[in-house]
Structure 1
Amino acid sequence: MSDAPPPPPGSLQALKAAHGPRYRWLLLMSVMVGTMAAIMSSTVVNVAIPDMSQHFGLGQERAQWATSGFMAAMVASMLTTPWMLSRFGFRLTYTLSMWLLLAGGLVGGLAHSYPLVLAARVAEGLAAGVVQPIPAIIILRAFGHEEQGRASGIFGMGVVLAPALGPSLGGVLVDAFGWRSIFFMVVPFCLVSLWLARRYVPVTGPGGVARQAGVSLDGWGLLLASGGTVCLLNGLVQWQAGQPLLAAGLLGAAGTALLAFVAWQRRLLQRHRAGAALQPLMDLSLFRCRPFAMGSLVAFIYGTALFGSTYLLPVYLQMGLVLSPSYVGALLLPAGVVLALTIAAVGRLADRYPTHVLVSLGLLLLAVSFAGVGLLSPNTPLVWLVVLTVVSRIGLGFVLPSLNLGAMRGLPSALIAQGSSAINFLRMLGGAAGVSLCGIVLEWRLAAHGASLAAGGPPAPRLNAFHETFAGLAALCVLALWAAWHLQSRPPAPQRT
C-alpha cells in the first residue's frame, strides 16, 4: 500500500484521477465555451456601431474605436498569458479573464457615455487576449500526439461558429432591443464558462506544477509591445485617413518600439540564463526552432489575409457588384457552414498526415480563391462567386487546426505556453493590421484608376481596383505557402501532463 499523500484538491492530478480518461475532453470543452465568448465579443459589436454612433452622436472614425480599442488590447494582452499561468495557475487566470469579460459586457451595455463604452471594450479585449492562447496549450499538453489534430478540429469548429453566428444573432438583437443588447450577449457564455472552470480547470500551472507566486512580469517588455502595437495600428489608420506625416511618425515609433523590444528581450533572456529571476515576456529562443519560426511567419501573413479579406469581400460585393446586404449575407452563408465542417474533418487528418502539407494545401486554396475573384465581372453568374467563397473557406479549414500543431510540436515542453502566446500574438497583430492594409491598397488602386466607392460612375475602374487588391492577397498567400513548406519536422514523442 502506497504512503504517498493524495494530490491537492483542484490540482491537475486530482482532476485526472476524479474524471478518468474523459477528463481531457471536459477540460477542452470548458475553455472552448470561454474562448467562444471572447471571439464573439470581438466581432459582434460591428453590427451595433451604426446605432451606437447615432445614440452618442459620433463620427464613423471615432465610433470605429469600439473595435480598434478591443483589437489593440487583445493583441497586447496575449503576451501576458504565460506569466499569468505560471503566477496564478490555469483556473485563476481563466476565471479572472471570464470575470473581466463579463464585467466589460455589463458595463458596456449599461454605459451612458461613450468613454465608458470604450473602457468596457478595452476590458473585453484584455480578457480575450489572455484566454485565446490557452486552448492550444491544453491540446499540446493534455492530448497525445495521435489525438491532437482531432481535438484541434473539434475546438476549431466550435470557435468558428461564434463569429459566424454572432453577427446574425446580433443583428436580430439590435433590431429588437437596441445596441445595448450586443454587450449582454457574452453574459450567459461567461457564466457557463465560470461554472465549468470551477469543476474542470486545474488550479495548477502549465505541466501540472504548482503556481509560482514569486514570478514577476516583464513590465518594460509589455510597455514596449503595447506601445508599438498601438502606434502601428494608429499609423495605418492615419495613413488610410490621408495624414501621411502623422502616419509616418507613428509607424516610425512602432518600428523603434519593435527594435527596443527585441533588444530588451534578448538582454532579459541572457540575464535569466545567468540566474536572474525575471523572465522575458517573449522567449526569443523560440525562433531558433525552424518550424516555429516559419509557422510564426505563416501566422502573421495568414492573419493579414484572413482579416483583410473578411473586410474586403462584403465591401466588394456591395460596392463593386452592387448587391444588397441581405443578398450578400445569403451568398456567404454556405461558406460559413462549409468552414465548420472542413475544420472538423481536417482535424482528424492532422493526426495522420504531415501538418505542413495540410497548411500548404489550405494556403494554395486561399490563393486560388482570391485570384479567382479577379476574374469576376458584373455579368458572371453568382454561382461562381459562391464557389470561390466556399473554396476560400475550405482553405481556411485546412490551415486553422494544422498551423499551431505544425509550428509548436517541435518545441520543448517548457516553451509550449510561450509558443502559443507568441504565435497567437503574431496572427492577431497581422489581422489587426490587415484590415487597414486592405483599405490602404484599395484606395491606392481606386485613385490609380480614377474611381471611387461613391455611387455612380463607370463600374469597370472600380472593379479593377478591387481585383488588384484581391490579387495582392493572393500574392501574400503564395508567400506564406513558401514558409508553410518549412513547417515540416519530425514529430516528437507524445507529451502528456
Structure 2
Amino acid sequence: MTQTSPQQSQQSGVPDDVRPWPALAALCIGFFMILVDMTIVTVATPDIVEELHASQNAVLWVTSAYLLAYAVPVLITGRLGDTIGPKWMYLAGLALFTAASLWCGLSGSIEMLIAARVVQGVGAAMITPQTMAVITRIFPAERRGKAMALWGATAGVATLVGPILGGVLVDGLGWEWIFFINVPIGLIALYLNWRLVPVLSTNDHSFDWLGVALSGAAMFALVFGIQNGEQRDWDAVVWVLIVGGLVLMALFVLWEARNRKEPLVPLSMFSDRNFSVSSFGISCMGFAAVAMGFPLMLYAQLVRGLSALEASLLFVPMALLSLVMAPVVGRFTDKVHPRLLTAGGFALTSIAVFWTSRGLEPDASYWRILVPMAVLGLGMSAVWAPLAATATRNLPMHQAGAGAGVYNATRLVGSVIGSAGIAVLMENRLAAEGLSGGGSEAAGQSLPSQVFAPFSQAMSDAMLLPAIVLALGFVAVLFFEAPRHFGSAAVTAPAAPAE
C-alpha cells in the first residue's frame, strides 16, 4: 500500500501514519452520493408532480435549486477548507447533506422540498473541493494519478447509478426513498471519514470578504440566469442577470489581481498552463455529460417507448467501461504525458457522441447506441482522472483548496451552460422539424407514430452540440505541458511557503 513519504508529510502537514487509500475510499463515498443526487430526481419527476400536487415547472426547481446552491459557494468552500482544514469542512458538509436528505424525504409540499434541496446543495458545495484537496496533499505528485483515477471512476459510475437507482427506488418504495437512501450511507460515510481521513495542517489566512461577495453574486447571477433562460424565453430579466453576472465576475477578477493580501482565488494559479487547460477541459466535459443525456433520454422514452429505468440502462456500457478502465488509466496517468491520454480521451468521446447521434432513428437497432456508448465510457476514463491529476499536480500545497474550488466551479458552470444550451437547441431543431413541445411530454409516454422520424431527427441534430464541445476540449488539451513532478522516478518538490 502506498504510504506518504516523510518528506511529503513534512511539506504538506500530513501525519506520518496516514493511510492514503483507505482515506480516499472514505472520501469517495460522500463524493459519489452528491453526484448521484444531481441526476436521481429526474426519474421521480412524474411521481413528485402527482403526490405533491406540483406543476411541471415547479418540479424543475427541485433539480435547479440543488445545482444553484451547489455551484455558487464552491469557490468559497474550497478556500474555507484551506483555512479550517479539509477534513472538518468535509465532515460538516456531509452532516448537512445527510440531514437535508432526511428533510427532503419528509417534505410534504413542493416548496419545502425545494428549500431542503437548497440546503443539500450547500452541503455538496462544502464536500466537493475537499476531496481533490485531500488527494493533492496525502498522495505524492508522482503517484497522484492512480488516486485521481478512483476519483474519476466515482464520477463516471455516479452518472449511471443516479437514473437507475432512482428508477428502482421510485418503482419499489416511492419517490421519498431517493432521499432517504442517503441517510444510512451518509452516517456510514461520516464514521469512516472521521476515522480514516487525516487532520491536515491549515494556514492562518485572512479572508477576502469582498472577493467572497463579488464571486458569490457573480456565480448566482450567471447560474440563475442561464438556468431560467429557457423557462423565461430569454427575456430581458434573464439577460440582465447574465450580463450583470459577467460584469461582477470581471470586477471579481480585477479585485483579485489588485488584492495584495489574501485573494480568494490566487490568479497566479492560472500562470500554470496545465491548471488553466484542465479547468477549461473539465468545463467541456461537464457541458457534454449533462447535454448529451437530454436528447438521448427523450428519444428512448418518447420514440422507443422505454420506461425511465429501461432508458437509463443505455448508459450501462459507458459506466462499465469507465469503471473497468479507470485503474488502467491510473497506472499510466503518472507515467504518460497528459496530452496523450486526454487528447485520446476527448477524441474518443467526441466521436462516440457523434456516432450515438447517428443511431437515433425510429427503428434503429439498440446496438447502434450501446456500442458507441461503450466507446464513450472508454474515452471518459481517459479524461476525468488525468484532467484532475494534471490540474493540481503543479499547485503548491497551500493552494490545494482554492485550486480544487476553481476546478470544480468550472465543471459546474459547464454543466449549467450545457443544460441551458441543449434545451435551446432541442427546441430549435423541433421547430425546424415542424414540431413543438415534444420534450415536455411525461417520461414513459410515446409520441404519435407519425412524428417519430422528425422527432428522432431533431434529437439526433441536438446531440451534435456536445460532440462539438468535446472537440473543443480535444483542441485545448493539445496545449498541455509535461508536469514538473512527472514519471515513475519523480521526486516531490517542496511546496511554496504560505502567502
TM-score band, normalised by shorter chain: 0.7 to 0.9
Q: Is residue 405 of structure 1 aligned with residue 389 of structure 2?
A: yes
Aligned residues: percent identity?
A: 26
One-letter code of the match for 2:397? S
Q: Equivalent of 2:79, from 76, 83, 101?
A: 83
Q: Equivalent of 1:422, from 401, 406, 411?
A: 406
- What is aligned with 1:267? 255
Residues 496 and 317 of structure 1: is their aligned pair in 2 closer, same or farther, counting only changes over 3 Å? farther
Query: How far 1:471 sits from its partner (Å)?
Result: 1.8
Q: Is residue 16 of structure 1 aligned with residue 25 of structure 2?
A: no
- What is aligned with 1:164? 160
Give yes or no for contact 1:76–1:222 (8 Å, CA) kept in 2: no
CA distance in structure 1 between the aligned counterparts of 2:286 and 2:114, rounded to whole angstroms: 24
Query: How far 1:371 sits from its partner (Å)?
Result: 1.8
Q: Secondary structure at the match of 1:244?
A: coil
| Alignment map for 1:3-402 (pairs within 5 Å) | 16-19=15-18, 23-204=19-200, 208=201, 210=202, 212=204, 215-216=206-207, 218-241=208-231, 243-246=233-236, 249-272=237-260, 276=261, 279-376=262-359, 377-402=361-386
Q: Secondary structure at the match of 2:478?
A: helix
Q: Which deviates further from its counterpart, 344-353 or 253-262?
A: 253-262
Give yes or no for contact 1:53–1:60 (8 Å, CA) kept in 2: yes
Q: Which deviates further from its counterpart, 32-41 or 159-168?
A: 159-168
- What is aligned with 1:9? none
CA distance in structure 2 between the aligned counterparts of 1:90 and 1:329, rounded to whole angstroms: 34
- What is aligned with 2:492? 494
CA distance in structure 1 between the aligned counterparts of 2:225 and 2:198, rounded to whole angstroms: 41
CA distance in structure 1 between the aligned counterparts of 2:392 and 2:82, rounded to whole angstroms: 19
Give yes or no for contact 2:24–2:135 (8 Å, CA) kept in 1: yes
One-letter code of the match for 1:260? L
CA distance in structure 1 between the aligned counterparts of 2:385 and 2:54, rounded to whole angstroms: 40
Instruction: Structure 2: give runs of 5+ residues left out of the alignment.
Output: 1-11, 442-446, 486-490
CA distance in structure 1 between the aligned counterparts of 2:364 and 2:40, rounded to whole angstroms: 32
Residues 295 and 91 of structure 1: is their aligned pair in 2 closer, same or farther, counting only changes over 3 Å? closer
Residues 36 and 238 of structure 1: is their aligned pair in 2 closer, same or farther, counting only changes over 3 Å? closer
One-letter code of the match for 1:435? S
Q: Which deviates further from its counterpart, 224-233 or 73-82?
A: 224-233
Give yes or no for contact 1:307–1:431 (8 Å, CA) kept in 2: yes
Query: How far 1:269 sits from its partner (Å)?
Result: 4.2
One-letter code of the match for 1:474? A
Deviation string 1:33-92 (CA, Å, 9 cap, x unpaired) is 221222223222223222222122111111111110000111112112333223321222
Query: How far 1:268 sits from its partner (Å)?
Result: 4.0
CA distance in structure 1 between the aligned counterparts of 2:282 and 2:100, rounded to whole angstroms: 28
Residues 237 and 194 of structure 1: is their aligned pair in 2 closer, same or farther, counting only changes over 3 Å? closer
- What is aligned with 1:451? 435
CA distance in structure 1 between the aligned counterparts of 2:241 and 2:420, rounded to whole angstroms: 18
Residues 283 and 496 of structure 1: is their aligned pair in 2 closer, same or farther, counting only changes over 3 Å? closer
Instruction: Structure 1: give runs of 5+ residues left out of the alignment.
Output: 1-11
Deviation string 1:438-462 (CA, Å, 9 cap, x unpaired) is 1110111111221342723343332
Query: How far 1:324 sits from its partner (Å)?
Result: 4.8
Give yes or no for contact 1:89–1:202 (8 Å, CA) kept in 2: no
Query: How far 1:352 sits from its partner (Å)?
Result: 1.8
Number of residue pairs matched? 470
Q: Secondary structure at the match of 2:244?
A: helix
One-letter code of the match for 1:439? A
CA distance in structure 1 between the aligned counterparts of 2:186 and 2:434, rounded to whole angstroms: 49
CA distance in structure 2 between the aligned counterparts of 1:83 and 1:384, rounded to whole angstroms: 45
Superposed CA RMSD in Å reads 2.5
CA distance in structure 2 between the aligned counterparts of 1:220 and 1:74, rounded to whole angstroms: 20
CA distance in structure 1 between the aligned counterparts of 2:421 and 2:30, rounded to whole angstroms: 30
Deviation string 1:99-125 (CA, Å, 9 cap, x unpaired) is 111110121122223322212111111
Residues 36 and 113 of structure 1: is their aligned pair in 2 closer, same or farther, counting only changes over 3 Å? same
TM-score, normalized by length of structure 1? 0.87
CA distance in structure 1 between the aligned counterparts of 2:81 and 2:175, rounded to whole angstroms: 35
Query: How far 1:391 sits from its partner (Å)?
Result: 1.1
Deviation string 1:295-350 (CA, Å, 9 cap, x unpaired) is 22212122111111122221122335555545423433232212211222211121
Q: Equivalent of 1:467, from 434, 442, 460?
A: 460
CA distance in structure 1 between the aligned counterparts of 2:171 and 2:457, rounded to whole angstroms: 36
Q: Which deviates further from its counterpart, 27-36 or 92-101?
A: 27-36
